[in-house]
Chain A
Amino acid sequence: GAGVSQSPRYKVAKRGQDVALRCDPISGHVSLFWYQQALGQGPEFLTYFQNEAQLDKSGLPSDRFFAERPEGSVSTLKIQRTQQEDSAVYLCASSLNRDRAYEQYFGPGTRLTVT
């Protein structure tokens, strides 16, 4: 079946612009996660949704970062007034249900470059 998909795959933004990154989780997956992966590093947790509820946003680096999942399926990560330090790959992962939240399946990521 289809895996996690993300769009766009690449995004170039000028400093100060707003960006929106989309994630389509695996159909039926209740849990959804966003991660940030800097070059040469492992992914770092940003936020977690269970259905439409954002249960944990402790990893969001600043109030310029905002995530939503209004219908419990597709999710959007929005970054306002982008800064150069926001340049990274943004990964989305989904998991079947709360009890199996540990097994997370990742999408291909969106590479954001802020110039």
Chain B
Amino acid sequence: GQQLNQSPQSMFIQEGEDVSMNCTSSSIFNTWLWYKQDPGEGPVLLIALYKAGELTSNGRLTAQFGITRKDSFLNISASIPSDVGIYFCAGPRGNLNQAGTALIFGKGTTLSVSS
């Protein structure tokens, strides 16, 4: 079935450093989503990607939808302490785009930022 392989599993960085994490799949996805989850809370959408090759920014965050539609990366520039959390990539199961489709999640990247 569809699976998302996310790496790295965890990262420990200094405040101000840039961060990069990625997600790959053996299956094609038509949508790539990146979420952040803080402890004890639900995931919050950071960036949504809908077209192969698309590069989208949201403040200090930048994400790209791979040309092959089988991968995506998320970059965080000039990290700050509040960037701490777990970052998940996700895609719609069955390759549908509509809101009525369940999501498949990667295993997450835990980010720790020291000041």
Is A bound to B? Answer: no
Question: B interface vs A, CB < 8 Å?
Answer: none
Question: A interface vs B, CB < 8 Å?
Answer: none
